[in-house]
Amino acid sequence: MSWLSRLFRRGTADADLDDEIRFHLDQEVQLRVDRGEPRDHARHGARRDFGNVIVVMEATRQMWGWTPMALIDDLKHAYRRLRSRPAMMLTAASMLALGVGLTTGMFTVIDALMLRPAPFRDPDRLANLMMLTPNGGRTDVSPAVLEAWRANSAFAAAEGATTETSLIDTSTGPRVAASARVSPGMFAMLGTPPIRGRGFDPTDGRPGTDDRVLLSEDVWRSVFGADPNLVGQRVTIDGASMLVIGLMPAGFRFPEWNTVLWKPIDFSAPPPTLTGEPPRPQAYVRVASGVPIDDALRVATVAARRVDSSIPATAQATSQPLAGVALDPYYRRAIPLLGGGVGLVFLVLCANVGSLLLARLTARQQEFRMCSALGASRARLLREALLEHGLLGVGSVGLGVALAWGLVSLARAFLPTAFLVSTLHPIDLDPRALVVAVAAGLVATLAAGVLPAWMGTRPDRTSSLTSAARVGAESRGTRTLTRALLVAELALACTLLVGATLLVRSFINLASVDLGLHAEGVLTAWIALPAKGFPDRPSRVAITAALEDNIRHLPGVDNIALSTGLPPRGGTTYFSDHWRGDGPDARPLKMTVSGYGVGPDFFELYGIPLLAGRTFQAGDGPDDVIVGERLAARLWPGQNPVGRTFHFDNDRLGGHVVGLAREIRFPSLETSRDHPEFYQPFELGGGNVDMNIRCRDRCPDEAVVRRQVLATVPGANIARLGLLSDIYREELARPRGAAALGSTFALIAVLAAAGGLFSVLTYAVGRRRREFGIRTALGASPAQIRRLVFRDGAGVAALGVGVGILASAALARVISSVEYGVTGFDPVTWGLVLGVLAATTVLASWRPAHRAMRVDPVALLREE
């Protein structure tokens, strides 16, 4: 054996000891031979006098104390022992990995959505500023307000942005891209320079200098094949030739998560290619250093009121963070809820693994007793158990990170855009997530590994080696701990199940709301006519008629209706405290109502039935209106509205009802979005045209429609074009995602709890075989034995569910405040949850109970 191989095989310390003892024996033999003993005899004598070589070596090794070599040995040992029960260890490791993976994945999403500040320079001083009353209000501001804020010394910078979509002409066909118009100083304010070319000049975005564009590195790669000469070239965007002046880094997302194209605009002097109405930007400011945000807001309020008389007196400047979900109350509450759900699943899995490990160690009591008898200390046993569990923990963190990576990729690919739009960060596993994974693994190992190791290796002094196998019951400590873990598991599972059921019911409620119209197979578009070329109303009416006609003749188009306002949000929103019908006792009502201006085919196109009166005729004016059901019921409860009149806005505005139409519903988590409505005949006002296009079989490609619009009206701005059903679907995306996630969590928790119950009962039955045998021998019927086991399971389950119900009641109240049409005390939900848990308990107890029934006292006797 060469020195090298010895090193690798056993480590130097062991080899040295080996050598040392061999040398001793050789010397002794030599001594005896010199003394005249025959060599054979000498060798035996030397061995005899030395004593047991192995015992000496072991005793010597113990003198070394705990060395790295010993750690490696222990690790090897632990690994071998883990491998000796592969099924059990795989179960434990995969449950821990599931816990770690889910936690890490969820953290990654929450981190990107909520926790991280906007990825810009000094993000704490950046804000999206708006003038809001306590009732809400417009989030955009007039260009004059933006100018006033820019001039104010409380702000280091104030810039504006509007979003739209654009069509990029490429060699392979047109591409739709999310785009934005930003004031030239935006990128400097955010602190993100272009990676190639230059940013906007201060004079860009005025008439003559508005044909510049910045592209995202993403677009440069995916659309232009990373053409190194793209900067400085002209590309066709929305039918106009634009000069590419620079590229922004791929990770730069602003103002929305998918914006990839930026055009300059001077909001105070917008280029005439835009519509007649001056665009109102979202205002973004950088608060000057040293100025407290609250002071800046007060100053901003005063400055804005001074230049814009249309701002309500109660409006205050309000700041919103640039990134994150602060804008959306649903996210603000749903995401912590889902995060908490992951936490609960994590705990369930830890508890489960904990009871699994405890059961396993208890089954090894015999082995531990043997080791103790041979002189192993408690510390040594504990160290081994902890090492095993630690190894398990390390393995599951590895697996968990892999799982989290998979989950996050999945989330990126399949999460509805509504989930992604709120983040300016890419959703990706990053060092922060890895730290969380390791922390979760550590917590899991501590929670699931340490207590069982402590309990499991506790020396059992009462029972000697021989009687160990015959102990008739579980030890009390183990019993208490396993039952407590189970109760916790079931309580958590119950809570998760209630939460998930409520989320699913909310989703079903939302999805099954009658929309009041046929939304499938309808494309809607929102188009702004350029002011240039269409200066007066007749020219706009003419081009609109041409547009309508051209679209109508596209292949695949069945019908088209122009309108002001698109379902389901409506066009003009009227808010007034003075809605009044013409009844003698009519009192003013406070309502928000959507007004639609609709073309002749609108009702037919959407299949909205007229319930009374007539539809619009030629010659109807803006005062002739058709009211929706809900508005009619509010203004004239229980009466026929046809022929009546109503007023609002201090009687300045009003209408004469010619018909009653079915209500259009807008099922949304934010019920405040669903307003009553009325209709007026469509009349082209400014440059905005909304189109409702009913498709024949398949809707024409979006790009084809865009082409047609731009071919008819060069320079038109298509602010939105897409399937109407997508809008409804988008509204459903968040509750669907929440319901899917919640159900997954609940499923995992229930399965884990069932598995835990099953394994604990099976184990308990195994330990109590002697007791069952004696009972049977004394005349207990199998049914009685079965009842015994069921009672054990049911007791634990009842306790768990009892605790769970208390926790669920609190959770249910929170959920019902965010979700649609569910109350915390929904009998269907509670019935379902209790039913599922009861069935789970029975199923999990079934096999252990039958095993207990089949204990044969005779066989048992023979075993002993």
Partner 1 sequence: MLILRTLQWGPQHGHGIGLAIRAGTEAVLQIDHGSLYPALHRLEKQGWLAAEWKVTENKQRAKYYRLTTSGKRQLAAERSRWRQIVGAIGRIMDPA
Site residues (vs partner 1, CB under 8 A): 16-17, 19-21, 23-24, 26-28, 31, 46, 49-53, 55-57, 59-60, 62-65
Least distance to partner 1, CB of residue 4, Å: 15
When the beta carbons of 56 and 434 are compared against partner 1, the nearer one is 56
DSSP3 helix / strand / coil % (the chain, rounded to 5): 55, 15, 30
When the beta carbons of 64 and 825 are compared against partner 1, the nearer one is 64
Look at residues 719, 816, 796 and name the one whose alpha carbon lies nearest to residue 754: 796
- The dihedral built from the CA positions of residue 665, 666, 672 and 675, taken in this order, carries a sign that is negative
d(CA 548, CA 560): 7
Least distance to partner 1, CB of residue 374, Å: 17
Task: Say whether 528 sits in a helix, a strand or coil.
Answer: strand
- In one-letter notation, the amino acid at residue 88 is M
Q: Which residue has the tokens 């009462």?
A: 462
Look at residues 678, 488, 689, 499 and name the one whose alpha carbon lies nearest to residue 579: 678
Per the CB < 8 A criterion, the answer to whether 675 and 573 are in contact is yes
When the beta carbons of 62 and 572 are compared against partner 1, the nearer one is 62
Least distance to partner 1, CB of residue 32, Å: 12
N- to C-terminal Cα distance for the chain?
A: 50
When the beta carbons of 49 and 623 are compared against partner 1, the nearer one is 49
Please report which helix (H) or strand (E) contains residue 766, including its range: helix 724-767
When the beta carbons of 22 and 614 are compared against partner 1, the nearer one is 22
Cis-peptide, bond into residue 329, ω within 30° of zero: no
d(CA 389, CA 447): 11
Task: Say whether 431 sits in a helix, a strand or coil.
Answer: helix
Least distance to partner 1, CB of residue 23, Å: 5
Least distance to partner 1, CB of residue 387, Å: 23
When the beta carbons of 53 and 777 are compared against partner 1, the nearer one is 53
CA triplet 50, 53, 59: central angle to 5 degrees?
Answer: 105
Least distance to partner 1, CB of residue 53, Å: 7
Q: What is the dihedral of CA 852, 856, 860, 863, to 10 degrees?
A: -120
Largest interatomic CA distance in the chain: 139
When the beta carbons of 28 and 147 are compared against partner 1, the nearer one is 28
Q: At what angle do helices 68-84 and 378-414 cross, to 10 degrees?
A: 70
When the beta carbons of 73 and 620 are compared against partner 1, the nearer one is 73
Least distance to partner 1, CB of residue 378, Å: 22
Q: Give the E-state strand segments of 489-586 in sequence order.
A: 522-528, 557-564, 572-581
CA atoms within 13 A on the CB side of 364: 23
When the beta carbons of 28 and 620 are compared against partner 1, the nearer one is 28
Least distance to partner 1, CB of residue 52, Å: 7
- In one-letter notation, the amino acid at residue 329 is P
Least distance to partner 1, CB of residue 66, Å: 11
CA triplet 563, 568, 573: central angle to 5 degrees?
Answer: 70
When the beta carbons of 56 and 439 are compared against partner 1, the nearer one is 56
Least distance to partner 1, CB of residue 15, Å: 10
Cis-peptide, bond into residue 255, ω within 30° of zero: yes
When the beta carbons of 3 and 587 are compared against partner 1, the nearer one is 3
When the beta carbons of 68 and 228 are compared against partner 1, the nearer one is 68
When the beta carbons of 70 and 838 are compared against partner 1, the nearer one is 70
Per the CB < 8 A criterion, the answer to whether 214 and 245 are in contact is yes
CA atoms within 13 A on the CB side of 475: 20
When the beta carbons of 17 and 554 are compared against partner 1, the nearer one is 17
* Contact partners, residue 365, CB within 8 Å, separation at least 6: 456, 460, 468
Look at residues 101, 108, 113, 110 and name the one whose alpha carbon lies nearest to residue 744: 101
d(CA 410, CA 213): 33
- In one-letter notation, the amino acid at residue 11 is G
d(CA 693, CA 699): 9
d(CA 710, CA 684): 19
When the beta carbons of 55 and 374 are compared against partner 1, the nearer one is 55
Per the CB < 8 A criterion, the answer to whether 696 and 613 are in contact is no
When the beta carbons of 28 and 582 are compared against partner 1, the nearer one is 28
Least distance to partner 1, CB of residue 38, Å: 20
- The dihedral built from the CA positions of residue 145, 150, 152 and 157, taken in this order, carries a sign that is positive
Least distance to partner 1, CB of residue 47, Å: 9
Q: At what angle do helices 68-84 and 86-110 cross, to 10 degrees?
A: 100
Least distance to partner 1, CB of residue 411, Å: 55
Least distance to partner 1, CB of residue 73, Å: 17
Least distance to partner 1, CB of residue 60, Å: 5
- The dihedral built from the CA positions of residue 357, 436, 321 and 593, taken in this order, carries a sign that is negative
d(CA 552, CA 237): 24
Least distance to partner 1, CB of residue 24, Å: 5
When the beta carbons of 7 and 810 are compared against partner 1, the nearer one is 7
Least distance to partner 1, CB of residue 12, Å: 11
Listed in sequence order, the DSSP H helices in 112-208 are 143-151, 186-190
Which pairing describes strands 589-598 and 677-681: parallel, antiparallel, or unpaired? parallel
> What does the chain come to in residues?
864
